Amino acid sequence: MKRIRYTFSRTAVMAMLAAAMLATPSCSKFTELEPINTPSENSAFQSASSIELAMQGVYEAAAVGSYNGDKAAARGYPFGAAAIEQDEMRGEDMLNVAQFYAITYEGTYTPSSANNVNMWNGLYALINQTNVLIKGVQGAGAAGVITPEAAAAYEGEARFLRALAHHELLIHVSFPYADGNGSKPGVPYREKAVTSQADVTEGLSVGRGTVAEAYTKLLADLDYAETNLPATQPKGLSRVSKGAAIALKTRIKQHMQDWDGVIAEGAKLGTDKQPATHFTSPIGGYTLTASPETPFTSFKNNTESVFSVANGPNANGGTNGALPSMFGPADKGARGLVATSPLLYNASFWVEGDLRRTLLQIRQVIGEKYSFNNKYRDYVNKTDYAPIIRYAEVLLNVAEAYARKGNNAQAFLLLNDVRNRSVPADKQFTTPPADLILAILQERRIEFTGEGRRWPDIHRLALDPVYGTNGVPAKLKIGQMKLDGSDYNNVTPPVFPATGGVVAYPYTDFRFLWPIPADEIAANPLLREQQNEGYK
């Protein structure tokens, strides 16, 4: 059984147990209770200050992660960068320029390929750290080290992160909720801290369960977070708040196609109103910024970002993982590995004059003149926060729910609140389009490009008889494109060669799902019997 060692901070000693992941059988030492420069688990929860450091350690685990178990080779697993990058590379709206993401982009992953394995390991490492934190603050609250209210708030933050991590696993390893109403195999929902070999043994008995069972548990985590977290976080938008828990529930219930549930959760954040100007949440005061650029230029403090994962100059995904490195142009100091695909850039629904094309796209002028995402701009220090959920998503989640339920008037108001800040007045909708649901789904592709929302939409809509992809869409390869930038032409879009791209594959193809990693199934006989079909 491999144990992964974390010190939790590059700038301070994190009073926290090292993460023990039920992943591989290569080492007989299942957990490391005394990681480098880190006191034991028991001492981590003996004071309010050490508990706060432990909580910070959990957030850093969400942001930085490790690569093949080496934290020095951090690549932003899972939520500092990697989840966004992997979710974009599984879709068709961004273009793999080099070979760096070829396995994900082309669907050639195996139980041993690095990115899907490290995502699995990083997510379960984070989950275990949330579980250790929960166990520790429960004890600290009971012992009077901190107040019961403070303990419950810390637990709420951890439960939010635990739910977020499990959902990321579900959208890659399991079929969508719509397939069999959640009856297909889910993922192991781990709720107990691994602090001893006995815990490891017990953990090996936890199987995949069903998708529905996993969704029930993660919604319970989010309900707890909502109940016990403050409406606003004095520590900033990189710490989980009540509004973040509610906002994430709109996403989760959307994946369940629980449209009434999406509407009910959204109403807590003000989406049931008919505002004179813009929608504003009574919890957290969320409202769209005047410019679509502001959540990314003022990522530490703006009215729209509900929750983001912090990166900093000394703790980020590094040259081989950070969002500005991967998504930015090489002539600006980035690596230029992922560009915007002309499939999206030239799409007829992305109208001329849209500010998101002029402000949030940037053309490389030296070398290949691809268009790159311009949301992440700190190419030197890589401090851009990773956006997890914005108020714009809440508005569009609820807009879709209203449209699905036939309330086109409210859906139209919500859609326009997002769309109209970016679209020229002469191209704004004055009446609902004939297919309002399609317009909302298209708006999501524009608004959230470069934020990792494309794959989750492909996944949840795969079987939708009207709006589904029925699998993974075809994608462009750079060999089909010209190097002079002329392929980026939304006025007279080019026609690309019919061959030479990444061929679409259907929902029934085993590649629609990621495999459970080989090391995991080698260590866990139960999961070995529950591997996704098509993988050995």
**Cα→Cα distances 123→1, 129, 164, 228, 495, Å:** 17, 10, 9, 24, 40
Residues ≥6 apart with Cβ < 8 Å to 119: 77, 78, 82, 83, 86, 168, 172, 514
Q: What is the CATH number of the domain that holds 263?
A: 1.25.40.390
Domain membership of residue 489 (yes or no) is no
Residue type, 158: A
- Residue owning tokens 């389009």: 433
In sequence order, the β-bridge partners of residue 315 are 312
Among the listed ranges 30-44, 206-220, 248-262, 405-419, which one has the minimum average pLDDT value? 30-44
The mean pLDDT value for 312-329 works out to 96
Residue 341 lies in a domain: no
Each residue of 76-108: pLDDT tens digit? Answer: 999 999 999 999 999 999 999 999 999 999 999
Helices and strands in the chain: count of H runs, count of E runs = 19, 8
Domain count, the chain: 1
Q: Is residue 22 part of a domain?
A: no
pLDDT at 526: 92
Instruction: Using pLDDT thresholds of 50, 70 and 90, give the confidence band for residue 196.
Output: confident
Domain assignment of residue 196, yes or no: yes
CA triplet 215, 216, 222: central angle to 5 degrees? 85
In this prediction, residues 406-430 reach a mean pLDDT of: 98
Q: Alpha helices, DSSP H only, in 284-361?
A: 294-297, 323-327, 342-345, 355-358
Please give the full DSSP string across 73-129, using - where no structure is assigned.
Answer: G---TTTTTHHHHHHHHTSSSEEE-SSTTHHHHHT---TT-HHHHHHHHHHHHHHHH
pLDDT tens for 37-81 read: 344 566 789 999 999 999 999 999 999 988 887 877 889 999 999
Residue 362 lies in a domain: no
How far apart CA 121 and CA 524 sit, in angstroms, is 14
Above 90 in pLDDT, residue 210?
yes
Residue 57 lies in a domain: yes
Within a domain: residue 279?
Answer: yes
* 167 in Cβ contact with 249 (< 8 Å): no
- What range does the domain containing 245 cover? 42-314+386-476+503-528
Query: Is residue 59 assigned to a domain?
Result: yes
